[in-house]
Amino acid sequence: MLLSTALAALTLSTLSEARPRHSSRQANNTTNTSSSTSLQFLGINESGPEFGETSLPGTYNTDYTWLNLSTIDTFVAQGFNTFRINTLMERMVSTKDMTSALDVAYMGNLTRDVEYITSLGAYAMIVPHNYGRFYSSIITDSSAFSTFWTNVAKVYANNSKVIFDTNNEYHDMSCKLVAELNQAAIDGIRSAGAVSQYITVEGNAYSGAWTWTTQADAVDDLTNAETMGNLTDPSDKIIYEMHQYLDSDGSGTSETCVSSTIGSKRLVAATEWLRANSKVGMIGEFAGAVNNICEEAIADMLNYIAANSDVWNGALWWGAGPWWGDYMFSVEPADGVAFTTYVPMLAGYA
């Protein structure tokens, strides 16, 4: 999610922005729903370590925070098995050089949370919530990016329950560059000896499922569908991670979902691309507000994912975390605004 004005209703002195601005181009899709089945990866986005992105590296418990691990127990008891931990590259390293040594304190806290999650038998997904940027500049040095990922992956090389997500929501950059950075991350991770873990790759245009095949970049006039299909992994464990919100512009900033069937409609084109290219995908971010239309739309989306489990293997709700307060999508146990509505619904797909 793009850190933006959606947190204006929250306490800005405590929280940083954490919201997406996805493209407004919508595919003309059809509905395909079915009864629910279990998803391989059913989970939650955990926020806090990526907050305070305008204060770098920032101060722990002032600009950013870490997970409340007791809430992980609550989710695992409901059948959730995947937790996407949103971090920042600038805090993961010790200097303003992304190839520098890892920051001991920040990485220590990350490792504590990762090890707690995986000790429960669940997956811990590590994602730099950086949008393809480092200190606000588009990452163009694929070699440095590969080195960054080698350094991170070495820490978790022996933990097969870790998932590496190359970067959150690349946007407004060359699709060719995005593919190059994803490949560099894959190569860096595998060179670290981390060969058993899944790697999720994300596309340009905020990795939106509904625009995966249609939205061309302003640099090369290419889409994710045209540039992301040739990624290679010697471990053959790539998952194509896409995000999808259900409001009119797909940004996830409105409580209004377009229709009760918009969830499935916005996944059809991406589903066809995954199947035609023998790929597997995951919805790494999705959410809806607590109202009848959104609840129907979320159920519709989950049913569609389950019905197309040959190409979709998971879905991760946005979001949870100790600093969300009264944020409309929060499922932070047990008083998150959406907790009582959506956690039981999602648990039906465990």
Q: Which residues are part of the catalytic machinery? A: 169, 285
As a whole number of angstroms, the distance between CA 338 and CA 326 comes to: 9
Of 224, 231, 298, nearest to 258 (Cα)?
298
Segment 234-237 long-range contacts (CB within 8 Å, at least 24 positions apart): 234/190, 234/195, 235/190, 235/195, 235/196, 235/197, 237/196, 237/197, 237/198, 237/199
- Please give the C-alpha separations between residue 100 and each of 89, 103, 147, in angstroms, as whole numbers: 11, 9, 9
- Residue 349: how many other CB atoms lie within 10 Å: 19
Q: Is the dihedral of CA 125, 130, 133, 134 positive or negative?
A: negative
Of 108, 111, 107, 128, nearest to 119 (Cα)?
111
As a whole number of angstroms, the distance between CA 66 and CA 91 comes to: 13
Beta carbons within 8 Å of 172's beta carbon, 6+ residues apart: 204, 217, 218
Backbone phi and psi for residue 269, each to the nearest 5 degrees, phi listed first: -65, -40
Backbone phi and psi for residue 154, each to the nearest 5 degrees, phi listed first: -60, -35
Residue with the two structure tokens 């932070």: 332
DSSP state of 312: E
Residue with the two structure tokens 């695992």: 76
As a whole number of angstroms, the distance between CA 303 and CA 276 comes to: 21
